[in-house]
Amino acid sequence: MRENLESLRNSDEELYASITNEEQRQRDGIELIPSENYAFPEVLAALGSVFTNKYSEGYPGRRYYGGQENTDYIENLARERAKSLFKCDHANVQPLSGSGMNQAVYLGLLNPGDTILAMDLSHGGHLTHGAPVSHMGKLFNFVRYVTDPSDGSFDFDQILKDAKECRPKLVLCGYTSYPRDIDYERFKAIADEVGAISMTDASHFGGLIAGEAMANPFDYGFDIVTTTTHKSLRGPRGGMILCKEDYAAKIDKSVFPGLQGGPHMNAVAALAVTLKLAALPDFKRYADKVLKNSKTLANVFIKSDTKLITGGTDNHMLVIDTLKSYGIDGRMAEETLDKVNITTNKQIIPDDPNPPLRPSGIRIGTPAATSRGMRESDMERLGAWIDQCLRAPDDKACLQKVKKEVVDFCLQFPVPGLAS
Ligand SMILES: *Cc1c(COP(=O)(O)O)cnc(C)c1O
């Protein structure tokens, strides 16, 4: 890999410089965006391999191009490993991203105009769960359910009532900004009651399901689980659709030729190795540490009377109401923490009165910091820094001091895949 980087240095100095700058940024800062992570070093190697060169439209044994003995092999490997890790009948490993993966499910199993019952976006649902600005939001009729922001609970009686009224074809749970686990049994019962397909979008916590730190929707009889492969799973950027046998043919057809052309076989190779690593005992320990770190960080904020949405966390993330806690909006909080090399992201909170680019909160997550080897005592330091900076966003001397401490602190934790 390094050799390839050297040749890049010779042919494009500017680009090479940007890569080394980004390496430095990743070394010198603490990554707390809950959807980000450091890919396994093996993933970077597979992504930069010659599988980048290959066209493989179709599926193993049924391709539209020749020369597929190795691509067939790795795609089968990835599919089998995914099935065994997530305990499901079928896996499609070709989606190029999380967004396309969800689109492939909707378009493959439903008709335009059909109703999908999904989580309200300000309560934690994702853009691809039918945001009005998204194409899917225009093609399908999304009906929303909400949570109680004080404890994160769902009013299942109300959701059932709504489901009986709107008769969804698909009941979708899963989130991008919600710090609690999901009661799959209740969601599955509601889907069954109205004859809908049950689906979980586990994009954020796919790795935590794989590491058995969080519940697996297939244990509750779910039909479909989608997950990105680059978040808690530490794989290449991409998506995966896992499903029961009944949906396998429709899902495969929907991904190709329905939505995509040639799969990115370098990403499929990288996913295969990710799934092998995620099945090892070490990854279970990792998933467990992610949650422990998240709880420890939450406790720092609880002690300092910071307002956390739902009052805490059961997963890898916290959502902080920065407006109520510190009197600053999420954008200012994000920018303040950027100044001290702590990366977070502004986030809309339940029923946020403010617009998405100036929302009332931020999201913080522990998957990346945990991959870097940070532990509970480190989370206490980290929480104290964040709290200190958000209380004094205009105190330049304070920010400067914290930044120096953060950079020094980072020296103890090599970035996976990067020489220190
Ligand atoms: C990240 C995410 C996606 C989309 O993934 P992309 O790869 O960014 O397209 C979909 N659903 C949820 C819940 C997510 O968190």
Give residue-wise pLDDT tens across range 145-156.
999 988 889 999
**Ligand 1 atom with minimal separation from the 176 CA:** 15
Condensed to tens digits (0 to 9), the pLDDT of residues 320-373 reads 999 999 999 999 999 999 999 999 999 999 999 999 999 999 999 999 999 999
Average pLDDT, integer, range 302-321: 96
What fold, for 45-278? Aspartate Aminotransferase; domain 2 (3.40.640)
The band of 5, judged by pLDDT with boundaries at 50, 70 and 90, is: confident
313 lines ligand 1 (CB under 6 A): no
Both tokens of 186, joined, read 């209740």
Alpha helices in 254-375 (DSSP H): 265-278, 281-303, 322-326, 330-338, 367-371
pTM: 0.97
pLDDT at 1: 59
Does 290-410 match 45-278 at the fold level? no
User: What does the pLDDT read at residue 149?
Assistant: 83
Give 420's pLDDT tier (boundaries 50, 70, 90): low
* Alpha carbons within 13 A on the beta-carbon side of 8: 13
pLDDT at residue 2, as a whole number: 63
Architecture of domain 290-410: Alpha-Beta Complex (3.90)
Tell me, using a 6 A CB cutoff, whether residue 134 lines ligand 1.
no
For residues 54 and 71, the answer to whether their CB atoms sit within 8 Å is yes
- Mutate which of 99, 136, 226, 345 for ligand 1 pocket (most atoms within 8 A of beta carbon): 99
* Confidence class for position 3, pLDDT limits 50, 70, 90: confident
- 352 within ligand 1 shell (Cβ under 6 A): no
> Nearest residue CA, atom 12 of ligand 1?
203
Sign, CA dihedral 129-133-135-137, equals: positive
Ligand 1 contact via 97 beta carbon (within 6 Å): yes
| pLDDT above 80: residue 266 | yes
pLDDT bucket at 45, cuts 50 / 70 / 90: very high
Active site residue 237: yes
Query: Which atom, in ligand 1's list, is nearest to the CA of 125?
Result: 13
Give 166-197 pLDDT, tens digit per residue.
Answer: 999 999 999 999 999 999 999 999 999 999 99
Beta bridge partners of 92: 241
Which atom of ligand 1 sits closest to the CA of residue 129? Answer: 11
Domain boundary assignment for the chain? 45-278, 290-410
Distance between the two ends of the chain, CA-based, in angstroms?
Answer: 16
- The continuous run of DSSP H or E covering 101 comes out as helix 98-109
9, 55, 276, 380: the catalytic one is 55
Q: Please report the pLDDT score of residue 4 as a whole number.
A: 80
Closest CA to 365 of 320, 316, 298, 295: 316
